[in-house]
Amino acid sequence: MSQLSRRELLALLLAAPAAVHALGDESGEWISLFDGKSLAGWKSTGHLGAFKIEGGEIAANGGPGTLFYAGAVEQANFRNFEFSVDVMLRPDAKYGVCFHTAPESAGVPAQGFQVLLANDYRGPNGFVQRSKTGSLCGLRNVYKQLVRDGDWFTVGILVRQRQV
C-alpha cells in the first residue's frame, strides 16, 4: 500500500480479504467480497486510479476516492451481517469503512455509517483528527490510538437490526 501524505481517502475496502457473514445464516459460512485478483463487483468514484490490486490486496493508490461494493452477493444490500477486513494504515492516512450507503460521484457518502480508520491524520490548515481508528463517525468516538501505523490489524463490524 502506498503512503498517502496529508490526503484524505474514504474507502469501503482497504485490503484483502474482505468477507461478510449473514447473521442467522444456518451455514455459518463467510462470503468473500473480493476475489484477490480484480475489482470485479466494486465501483470506484472520485480520483481515477485511486485503487489498484497489489499482491492480491486492494491498495489505495493516491488521490481521494471511494470504493463501493456493488457485486452480486446479497445484491449489495446487507442488513444483518458481520464484516471483516484486514487493514494497514500508513502515517497520516485517513480511511473509512462505510455501510448502509449508496455510491456518490465524489466525497463522503451522504447517508449511512462510517467506521473511521485514522491514527494521526492532520488535514489542511492545521486540522488534527482527534477521533481515532474504531470511531463510528458522528455517533461514538474513540480517542486512544489502538493500533500502530504500519501494522496489519483486523476491522470487524457487526450489524444487527438497527444496532452497530
State the cell numbers at 106.
465524489
pLDDT higher than threshold 60 for residue 10: no
**Confidence class for position 6, pLDDT limits 50, 70, 90:** very low
Domain residue extents for the chain: 7-159
- The residue whose grid cell reads 455509517 is 113
Backbone angles phi, psi at 124, to 5 degrees: -65, 160
Helix (H, G, I), strand (E, B) or coil at 89: coil
What's the pLDDT band for 15 if we cut at 50, 70, 90?
very low
The CATH number of 7-159, from 3.40.50.970, 2.40.70.10, 2.60.120.560, 2.40.480.10, is 2.60.120.560
pLDDT in tens, 100-116: 887 666 666 778 888 88
* Residue whose C-alpha cell reads 492532520 in the numeric block: 122
Answer yes or no: are the C-beta atoms of 147 and 89 closer than 8 Å.
yes
CA torsion 42→155→108→135, rounded to 10°? 170
